[in-house]
Chain A
Amino acid sequence: MWCGVSAALWPVRCRSFLLQCRNICSGNVGRKSVVDGVLPSFRSVCGEDGVSLSEAIREQHGKDESVHKCCPPDVVVFPRSVDEVSALAKICHMHCLPIIPFGTGTGLEGGVGAMKGGVCFSLRNMDQVLDLHVEDFDVTVEPGVTRKALNSYLRDTGLWFPVDPGADASLCGMAATSASGTNAVRYGTMRENIMNLEVVLADGTIINTAGKGRRPRKTSAGYNLTNLFVGSEGTLGIITKTTLRLYGIPEAVVSAVCSFPSVQAAVDSTVQILQSGVPIARIEFLDDVMIDACNRFSSLSYPVTPTLFLEFHGSERSLEEQVNTSEEITQCNGGSDFQWAKDEETRSRLWKARHDAWYAALALRPGCKAYATDVCVPLSMLPQIIVETKEDLIANKLTGPIAGHVGDGNFHCLMVLDPNDPDELQRVHLFTERLARRALAMSGTCTGEHGVGLGKRALLVEEMGAQAIQVMQSLKETLDPKNLMNPGKVLPVLCPSQSKI
């Protein structure tokens, strides 16, 4: 829906885009007959049960958890192995059918919409945890394994995979979108924690980005193909295995909450805590609007001011030091009401506000939907961008409580909007564009965690600049000359001969 067209022409272009999308989605007659023709080949690869044309299944595989409209594929296939994925890809390649990889459908940027129809590869039947090496801290998983399933599997080993986006997402899907979570400040994002990928390219070729079965902790060998595919959102290949870096489960955990008189004070504390060498695991920011919503939703009574939620991991002794240092720093910055807890039940209670933030935001306006913006800026810019953003929200009468991974300079405005109010939709759309441009102007990025998907392609061009985009286009054309891999995502279509989506 929001494909980054210029604001003034948005209503006109949007309408024509929607018409175009509807035409494309609801059945290009030529493509449909091609799909019908290949169905027997699909069935011979993944069995009768492995191919679905039913409307319900196709709709389920044409949308994710974003606000983008459902764009169902022509057919959904369920391969059971990388060889089946490769065989299916070869068939699609021969007949020029778009390929859309699908993990758990929990993306937030419309990445699975089949803009040009085609074949959705649902990878959920490839759900094995392979090759766990406890002493080497690595494990290889297939796309059907979600992060919670992996951590359950690992529970007896003392290891865990810490990247934790909100949803229980497929790990290979997280690789494709370069996902991140609340403890990126200590453990990193997917980019830092993937050692190897098995990828099927558009023509069915199977490659291992770091060599088959290889899992050294570091390497200088050749081009970094692994990180080329991380974050490629299905536009360069289908990820069928990922080898992940694991960490030891923390011996002990302490959670803390602290209120601040201003955003500046909260961010200053964050910077100083990081500078003092405290290996803080989570540091989350909630603004006053969000805290107010949380108080109401969860019957809490936090002071209605900018608040930090902190979490520390380590041994019992080191935790004491970490908490004391952090408490001192917050006090120096005017922080108050510093509470902390060690046992599971009290920690959950302290962090309840942060965990329920999404629902608390939705509860502010029952019947509305929510959309999370996602910009990231250098830490020093955070107070300024948050202050300017809040002014923008008030001036445009928008509901947008703010929650953020302040240790990374990444924050989300949870925009609560009435999907049936076109005026509000437009105001939200323009606001998110202004926010993204504000972040870009402060040396930041238009997407910290969620990816580019459908809606941020024009912003990507602004962020990267024409030359870098040109290099990305060249890579795309080299790996996928027929533009079959998840068309219409990440990169804007520049070739005039292809229909402008």
Chain B
Amino acid sequence: FQVGLLVSVKRFFLFLFEIRVKPDKSGVVTDGVKHSMNPFCEIAVEEAVKLKEKKLIKEVVAVSCGPQQAQETIRTALAMGADRGIHVQVAGKDYENLGPLQVSKIMAALAKKEEAQLVILGKQAIDDDCNQTGQMTAALLDWPQGTFASEVSFEGDKLKVVREIDGGLETITINTPAVVTADLRLNTPRYATLPNIMKAKKKKIAIMKPEDLGVDITSRVEVLRVDEPPQREAGVKVETVQDLVGKLKDSGLV
């Protein structure tokens, strides 16, 4: 079963570092912060590469939308085993306003253009936690979707997906072509090793603009303000249980 696979990767802060809001409250401070691939995107890439190693997939194409630095993220995907990359250039204000709807339009256009049979994304990105792009892409393509995947396998020409849901695990079978979004326990992503990073430098990254795909990226969403969560205040010590109950009643909690 030889299919082409698109995997979408997004670049954001390395999850270790503290996020600070810009003084003008328009967003978060991005200068000087170490960036890395979104953890769920790493899991998506790993799954794509694993499917290729099992010879169920012919080719893995890594896609990222963003400014010049998005190419670093694509290179990491290439070092993990993707075959080639596509960088859809979106910079400056357009990038700040880029949201799931526009990305899913781009992914849908690329899926058609590349004749992909499978599109894998991370279930959500850790900057906005939207958890929408995969689902919107499936809707735009009118393809079935297997979201929150913790296990993916082929059964003939159908895809069996085990999904993590609130009640436990749900197993579904969907037709291909399909969209899958990766959840945490799908796999443990490999580290990019030096030799593979060197090889990745020779792999091709095609560059294009959203207009080349006929996609309009104007945003229908306007961010009004970004605030930090309220600072934690000092607690109050009380002497007796009666005091505690009294204070709880005073603040209307009891």
Contacts and interface: CB of A to CB of B under 8 A. Distances in A.
B193 A248 contact: yes
Contacts of A249: 191-194
Contact of A250 (B34, B37, B193): B193
Contact of A248 (B14, B16, B36, B194): B194
Interface in A334-354: 344
Given A153-B34, A344-B188, A159 B194 contact: yes
Interface in B189-226: 191-197
Main secondary structure of the interface of A (DSSP, over half): mixed
Q: Which of B36, B191, B195 has the most CB of A within 10 A?
A: B191
Interface in A148-173: 149, 152-153, 155-160
Interface size class of B (residues with CB under 8 A): 10 to 19
Interface string B71-89: 0100010010000000000
Interface string B11-29: 0001110000000000000
Contacts of B79: 158
B72 A149 contact: no
Given A149-B16, A344-B188, A156 B36 contact: yes
A248 B193 CA distance: 7
A423 interface: no
Contacts of B196: 158, 251
Given A248-B193, A249-B194, A156 B37 contact: yes
Contact of A158 (B14, B15, B37, B197): B197
Given A158-B193, A248-B193, A248-B194, A152 B188 contact: no
A156 B196 CA distance: 11
Contact of B16 (A153, A250, A251): A153
B193 A156 contact: no
A160 B76 CA distance: 16
B195 A155 contact: no
B195 A251 contact: yes
Contacts of B37: 156
Interface string A64-100: 0000000000000000000000000000000000000
A248 B192 CA distance: 10
Given A158-B79, A344-B188, A153 B14 contact: yes
Contacts of A156: 36-37, 72, 76, 192
A251 B14 contact: no
Indicate the member of B15, B36, B194 with the most A CB atoms within 10 Å.
B194
Interface in A126-160: 129, 149, 152-153, 155-160
Chain A interface category by residue count? 10 to 19
A158 B194 contact: yes
A315 B199 CA distance: 14
Nearest to A156: B76
Nearest to B79: A158
B192 A158 contact: yes
Contacts of A149: 16
A315 B196 CA distance: 11
A176 B16 CA distance: 24
A377 B158 CA distance: 60
Contact of A251 (B34, B36, B76, B193): B193
Interface string A246-260: 001111000000000
A160 B197 CA distance: 14
Contact of B191 (A129, A153, A155, A315): A155
A121 B239 CA distance: 33
B43 to A, nearest CB: 13
Interface string B56-76: 000000000000000010001
A155 B194 contact: no
Contacts of B188: 344
Nearest to A160: B191
B201 to A, nearest CB: 12
A344 B72 CA distance: 26
Contacts of B194: 158-159, 248-249
Contacts of A250: 193
Interface string A313-324: 001000000000
Nearest to A150: B16
Which residue of B16, B37, B192, B196 has the most chain A CB atoms within 10 A of its CB atom? B16
A249 B193 CA distance: 5
B36 A155 contact: yes
Contacts of A158: 79, 191-197
A152 B191 CA distance: 10
A169 to B, nearest CB: 16
A345 to B, nearest CB: 8
A248 B76 CA distance: 15
B16 A152 contact: yes
A128 to B, nearest CB: 10
A159 B195 CA distance: 11
Interface string A261-296: 000000000000000000000000000000000000
A155 B72 CA distance: 13
Contacts of A160: 191
B16 A155 contact: no
A274 to B, nearest CB: 25
A344 B191 CA distance: 12
Nearest to A154: B191
B14 A152 contact: yes
Contacts of A248: 193-195
Nearest to A248: B194
Contacts of B16: 149, 152-153
Contacts of B191: 155, 158, 160, 249
Nearest to B73: A156
B12 to A, nearest CB: 13
A251 B195 CA distance: 7
A160 B192 CA distance: 11
Contacts of A315: 195
10 contacts: A153-B14, A153-B34, A157-B192, A157-B197, A158-B195, A158-B197, A159-B194, A249-B194, A251-B195, A251-B196
Interface of A: 129, 149, 152-153, 155-160, 248-251, 315, 344
Interface of B: 14-16, 34, 36-37, 72, 76, 79, 188, 191-197
Minimum-distance CB pairs A-B, first 6: A158-B194, A248-B194, A158-B197, A249-B193, A249-B191, A251-B193
Given A156-B37, A158-B196, 20 more contacts: A129-B34, A149-B16, A152-B16, A153-B14, A153-B16, A153-B34, A155-B191, A155-B192, A156-B36, A156-B72, A157-B192, A158-B191, A158-B193, A159-B194, A160-B191, A248-B194, A251-B195, A251-B196, A315-B195, A344-B188
